[in-house]
Structure 1
């Protein structure tokens, strides 16, 4: 290789060095993000021999740079020559796994785990396991914290002797003097449990779990809930009763609301894991207690578990034990609890069946529809389809429709939007006569809403209604009302006319397109407001393919093309742009 070639091959590294020394952190971040490109330029051998050692010596930077470096190295195996060289990335990531900043450590652990599953057993034994040892006995708690996340990925790839050592080292971490290390051990114990044999779960993992589950720090105890689920999934119901039932009872009534919150949040998953006997004998009572908990956060989490838990017990128990609690939660002092319940309560309808839904749930739906909090109203409206499937639209319309109609002018626009999104479902079930009497005017009123998202949703709603009831109905019921808006003095109404006609164009036939939609759109092409004119051009772009499909080539040539030609010479840049784009589809 001559001197010129040598200088050229050094070029990527030289650039990287310069950029990583730049005082601007954002430039250093960008340099690290381009590591893959530089590695490709260098090739695997020089990446291993030059780039990786350089990076090992460069870990003295701001956290945002180190975070990106930790992320990039997780996908770097292919650039160093494949899995057989993947272990060369571990020293740099090991250093990053011991830094002070938590997000950097977490990302480094994630990347190490990604690389670990690609390594062969010899690499695991010679490089990965020694790294775990060093991190696990490090002087600083940061390294010991990171070590906890590295055991599960390596466990199944290790020899039996090494597995025994890993369990011993993990036990030391579970008993560490530093709460942050015990927290990390509690967090990752569930993953390790899934890798360990049942024999060792019984003999070693359960004692570690018990120790962490009664830790003096509630921040440690709350992180053992997932481990409880993982252990229960391994054990038989009899073993669960003997080994962890007492701890489960204790955790359900823990003095810390944060622990009770975690139990409530995972309650269905936990109930499925422990078996039907424990659910029936212990967990119904525990769940009722969580639904009545003094802390709103716990009641919120429990409310979200109501439908899922109800399917695990018999209907009589639901009606006797769970429904009284649900009725209390409908008027809970916390709107967050009521909002969580509103999201989930409709999930009870399929389980309870038609009669019980009518007797027990419909009154609660009505109460939630009239709740003072917009989020509660929004959540219950958005789940109406579940109720409709169980009780039928006739009963739904009789009991809930009046309350829904009352919300058409709700101050919270997202509530109005949720109603609009449910209108096509209601329309298809109610039939055209009922719709015209009760809901047609409602749908037209939304076209004049002050919020753009509502007006936009209203136009889409009209297209869906046209698809439900047919073109002839649209020509009679909605198109004339849309056309009336085209002469309104407020430009927003005229703009909405364009949007509405564009939306329903795809749902009508050629006659309606030619007789109703096109004449109005062509008239609006001369509107004094530029925003309307360029939306007319957009409308033409949508209509032209439809017109051609309907064998309306003459209309395209005689009416649309002249209108677009005029718009293409408009004084407004946007109008010209969209007109010229639309014109391209006409030829």
Structure 2
């Protein structure tokens, strides 16, 4: 106690009366731990700062605890990170929003620290504090903080300032907004790369805030904000709440928010869920300012000598596209981006490839067709495998967005014109899409190793030529609707498929299929599988199926595994005939490959194949492979075979199981290999709940009882587990007469594991029997109560 008294500031402890000292002694101990040499003690105390604040009260927290923390804030990095995190949620302990500015001083000190983790946490807490400040306090207290940080001598100060621009900008006056933009201009040419990197990471977020989109928020803070809004106003629209939960139109990803030493928090925008901004006069004016001020900064940072700065600047491309109109994107943003990725770094091209569909959605279909098609093809043919892999992963979404682009919303339609159909394809003329690149010859679209179909560049079939209605549904861009004449938009989409997909994209896919890099081919395989339902049956059979067959025979196990694990979409599109004649032989070949993961992936596809091929075809062609998988050398393969046999039994029924494979399962119980005997029991465990009780009684129970004296302990305890499952499926008299005696014998087994599982099975069956008895008793009681209420037959028949 004396140590605590001596070490604490006089204002916190020395002036207290003796009674107050006793009352606040636990708090004094926590404060003393802030000075402990052991870091863990200090961290424990910091985690209890809210307890200390509650004990002290709001006034003493403001006047004593916060100054104490500010004066003694410098510590090891872990402690400072913890303090910064705590102070971000400390407004309630200092008296609410009116006193929120008192928290700025300690967080400002932490924002100056050289360690990037401390700075990031301090800036994150300051960003949370902005929501607790009134606009006036923001102008009077937080903007001066930003000014101090932006003009500080240390690079850590200037880097921290960048993270606050976007949260300050929307809530200050016009003069202050201009000052913020001037600070951004100055920091864009800062001598220290870390400062330029921090600014590059928040340029997109600042652009979005200028047009009225809220800045990035972490998920927990967004959830708290939603709760607050709900409590304050029940009339808040669901759109506003979703806006907050999603982190605002920026759709930021907190997991990627802090990277490369930038304290603010790089914005990761996904355009797929973002509505087009309403073009109000304020938004139009803000866009002009973005073009005049921020885009030059973007160009400067995108050509920076430091690669990390260039990469972070290009990260903001989608956010800029979201903030600007499609016309401004085409005129100003896209040329700058394309010039930047051709500048030096392959990593910049890789970044653009990974975000290509987000950029496509942000700029809209018209700008995409005029500016981005050739760029996408060039990324698919890039010299670096990483770039090709990233671009290949975007093929499916890029093509789907291109061919099924929804009509623009009223807010997005140029000149305020709205579309008459919400999902009608947009009419696109691609005659000028690729002036520099002539289309390849028709015979260049080859099967890529599959042979057979796909050697020629066949025209896309018209809607009327499709074999059935399902194919029309799979080609939405070819038809204008049931019984309707194809619209000009649908015809244009068909032209788009001929001009881009068939003549340019498919040849590029064929080239990627011959790529020597395994990762590229794996990404391509997934893209092709995703393209099948988009392009429809004919295109899939003629052009994609040969590539799929080629990949199924690829020498790389990873390529084959990636493809076979995701075959369902293709199988649905190509139909039973091509599935059985083309894909099935390749799949069956994979069932015998040495790589156990591929064998397991093939097994997991069996229920889907059985559903599409039918019971008879499956029994004749595929069922025989299950018997080999049940005795596979890899345990995971054997287990997968058991699980999928169970799924097939659920689909085809108990009689099918009895006729097709139960006899083979019983044969395994006599096998010399104990692993095969164990897989027999594993089958019994999984099948007994889905088979009829009569089959469990006549087939499964005798098999399990026969194995209870097996010489291998592992088999015997598996018998106990099997009997527990069988006991749940058969009549209780058989459980008493056959199952329980066997389990009692196993409880006396020399092996401890056998005794354990036998006792476990007995307890399980007893609990089951007690539950049934209780249920029957309740039913009888209810029946007696009903009989007591109803009149007797004599009374009912008496006049």
TM-score by length of structure 2 reads 0.67
Match of 2:732 among 550, 553, 570: 553
Deviations 1:133-159 (A, max 9, x none): 333222222232232222223333444
Shift of 1:68: 4.4
- The aligned counterpart of 1:368 is 551
- The CA distance in 2 between the partners of 1:149 and 1:333, in whole Å, is 43
Shift of 1:4: 5.8
- The CA distance in 2 between the partners of 1:46 and 1:526, in whole Å, is 77
Given that 1:212 and 1:220 are in contact with CA atoms closer than 8 Å, whether structure 2 keeps it comes out as: yes
Match of 1:200 among 286, 304, 312: 286
- The CA distance in 1 between the partners of 2:724 and 2:18, in whole Å, is 60
- The aligned counterpart of 1:6 is 21
Whether 2:350 is the aligned partner of 1:261: answer yes
- The CA distance in 2 between the partners of 1:458 and 1:40, in whole Å, is 60
Note closer, same or farther for the CA distance 1:334–1:41 as it changes in structure 2 (3 Å cut): farther
Worse overlay, 381-390 or 68-77: 68-77
- The aligned counterpart of 1:137 is 151
Deviations 1:381-411 (A, max 9, x none): 1221111221123312321221212222333
- The CA distance in 1 between the partners of 2:85 and 2:182, in whole Å, is 30
Whether 2:741 is the aligned partner of 1:562: answer yes
- The aligned counterpart of 1:233 is 322
Whether 2:135 is the aligned partner of 1:121: answer yes
- The CA distance in 1 between the partners of 2:717 and 2:164, in whole Å, is 58
- The aligned counterpart of 1:245 is 334
Note closer, same or farther for the CA distance 1:79–1:435 as it changes in structure 2 (3 Å cut): farther
- The aligned counterpart of 1:294 is 383
Note closer, same or farther for the CA distance 1:541–1:55 as it changes in structure 2 (3 Å cut): farther
Whether 2:117 is the aligned partner of 1:103: answer yes
Note closer, same or farther for the CA distance 1:72–1:500 as it changes in structure 2 (3 Å cut): farther
SS in 2 for 1:448: coil
Deviations 1:214-243 (A, max 9, x none): 333332222223422222223333222332
Whether 2:108 is the aligned partner of 1:94: answer yes
Structure 1 residue runs of 5 or longer lacking an equivalent are none
RMSD, aligned α-carbons: 3.0
Match of 1:190 among 200, 204, 207: 204
Note closer, same or farther for the CA distance 1:152–1:445 as it changes in structure 2 (3 Å cut): farther
- The CA distance in 2 between the partners of 1:109 and 1:342, in whole Å, is 43
- The aligned counterpart of 2:589 is 406
- The CA distance in 2 between the partners of 1:147 and 1:475, in whole Å, is 73
Match of 2:679 among 493, 496, 508: 496
Given that 1:342 and 1:376 are in contact with CA atoms closer than 8 Å, whether structure 2 keeps it comes out as: yes
Given that 2:30 and 2:48 are in contact with CA atoms closer than 8 Å, whether structure 1 keeps it comes out as: no
- The aligned counterpart of 1:422 is 605
- The aligned counterpart of 1:518 is 701
- The aligned counterpart of 2:564 is 381
Deviations 1:112-171 (A, max 9, x none): 333433443344334433333333222222232232222223333444443333333233
Shift of 1:56: 4.0
Note closer, same or farther for the CA distance 1:326–1:68 as it changes in structure 2 (3 Å cut): farther
Shift of 1:472: 0.8
- The CA distance in 2 between the partners of 1:17 and 1:450, in whole Å, is 62
Worse overlay, 331-340 or 451-460: 451-460
Shift of 1:43: 6.8
TM-score by length of structure 1 reads 0.89
Mapping 1:37-76, distance limit 5 Å? 52-53=66-67, 55-57=69-71, 59-75=73-89
Worse overlay, 396-405 or 196-205: 196-205
Whether 2:307 is the aligned partner of 1:218: answer yes
- The CA distance in 2 between the partners of 1:41 and 1:488, in whole Å, is 73
Shift of 1:562: 3.3
Given that 2:36 and 2:42 are in contact with CA atoms closer than 8 Å, whether structure 1 keeps it comes out as: yes
Note closer, same or farther for the CA distance 1:280–1:436 as it changes in structure 2 (3 Å cut): same
Shift of 1:36: 5.6
Note closer, same or farther for the CA distance 1:117–1:372 as it changes in structure 2 (3 Å cut): farther
Note closer, same or farther for the CA distance 1:226–1:511 as it changes in structure 2 (3 Å cut): same
Deviations 1:164-207 (A, max 9, x none): 33333233222322222112211111112111133233223223
- The CA distance in 1 between the partners of 2:672 and 2:58, in whole Å, is 69
Deviations 1:400-455 (A, max 9, x none): 22121222233333322322221110111111222122221222322233333322
- The CA distance in 2 between the partners of 1:556 and 1:473, in whole Å, is 26
Given that 1:193 and 1:227 are in contact with CA atoms closer than 8 Å, whether structure 2 keeps it comes out as: no
Given that 1:13 and 1:51 are in contact with CA atoms closer than 8 Å, whether structure 2 keeps it comes out as: no
- The CA distance in 2 between the partners of 1:91 and 1:542, in whole Å, is 66
Worse overlay, 524-533 or 243-252: 524-533
Shift of 1:330: 0.9
- The aligned counterpart of 1:390 is 573
Shift of 1:281: 2.4
Worse overlay, 383-392 or 236-245: 236-245
Deviations 1:448-495 (A, max 9, x none): 333333222222111111112111111122222222223333332233
Note closer, same or farther for the CA distance 1:127–1:498 as it changes in structure 2 (3 Å cut): farther
Given that 1:265 and 1:301 are in contact with CA atoms closer than 8 Å, whether structure 2 keeps it comes out as: yes
Shift of 1:40: 6.6
Match of 2:634 among 438, 444, 451: 451
Whether 2:33 is the aligned partner of 1:18: answer yes
Note closer, same or farther for the CA distance 1:37–1:392 as it changes in structure 2 (3 Å cut): farther
Structure 2 residue runs of 5 or longer lacking an equivalent are 1-15, 212-282, 404-495, 771-799
SS in 2 for 1:449: coil
Note closer, same or farther for the CA distance 1:82–1:365 as it changes in structure 2 (3 Å cut): farther
Note closer, same or farther for the CA distance 1:155–1:481 as it changes in structure 2 (3 Å cut): farther
Note closer, same or farther for the CA distance 1:50–1:255 as it changes in structure 2 (3 Å cut): same
Given that 1:201 and 1:231 are in contact with CA atoms closer than 8 Å, whether structure 2 keeps it comes out as: no
- The CA distance in 2 between the partners of 1:75 and 1:527, in whole Å, is 64
SS in 1 for 2:339: helix
Note closer, same or farther for the CA distance 1:29–1:574 as it changes in structure 2 (3 Å cut): farther
- The aligned counterpart of 1:148 is 162
Number of corresponding residues: 582
- The CA distance in 2 between the partners of 1:48 and 1:536, in whole Å, is 69
Given that 2:30 and 2:52 are in contact with CA atoms closer than 8 Å, whether structure 1 keeps it comes out as: no
- The CA distance in 2 between the partners of 1:403 and 1:47, in whole Å, is 72
Mapping 1:327-338, distance limit 5 Å? 327-338=510-521
* Higher helix proportion (structure 1 or 2): 1
Larger CA Rg, structure 1 vs 2? 2
- The CA distance in 2 between the partners of 1:537 and 1:567, in whole Å, is 8
Given that 1:251 and 1:263 are in contact with CA atoms closer than 8 Å, whether structure 2 keeps it comes out as: no
Given that 1:96 and 1:105 are in contact with CA atoms closer than 8 Å, whether structure 2 keeps it comes out as: yes
Given that 1:525 and 1:536 are in contact with CA atoms closer than 8 Å, whether structure 2 keeps it comes out as: yes
